Structure 1
Amino acid sequence: MSVSVRIPTILRTYTDGASEVTVEPAEDTLTSVLDALEAAAPGIKARVLDDEGKLRRFVNVYADDEDVRFVGGLDTPTPAGTKVSIIPAVAGG
């Protein structure tokens, strides 16, 4: 069961420049997707999750078009074919 993860420019140093990574998570949850992503791109998970293992405040994660914070957080279902997008918040004025 493959899941595609879209990687923002700022995190592509972990993926050798790849804008999208396909992973094979062990389970159908966002947690498992992030674990598989970490295995493929060591160090990237720490940029998405904080020291308590929660999503970082200024990083948005979407499963297909749904903000995971409003769906199920790290337990959000990610069946085969799901497209996960990691989007850092942008500040400006």
Structure 2
Amino acid sequence: MIVRIMGEGQVRLADRHFAELNALDDELLAEVRDGDGEGFRRTFHALLAKVRELGEPLPDDALEPSELILPAAEATLDEVRAMLNDEGLIPSPG
């Protein structure tokens, strides 16, 4: 799957990583719903860091369509809340 982090670029992520990412995404969803700003910031940055760690960066000139778009690291709780669906930022595989 091709994932874009807004303002940073794209990475290719293997499907095998989604269980780990979904665990962080579930935690993030709960923190956003609870309005836990401190928890949100910590978990959101951990999620982005894990995407960067596990993903293979695509060249800047690559024109691959992104299957998943994540907010920029400086996004606020309200901005992320606006991007969430019932499953969080990362859809369940399948």
TM-score normalised by the chain length of structure 2: 0.30
TM-score normalised by the chain length of structure 1: 0.30
More strand by share: 1
Higher RCO (C-alpha 8 Å, min separation 6): 2
More helix by share: 2
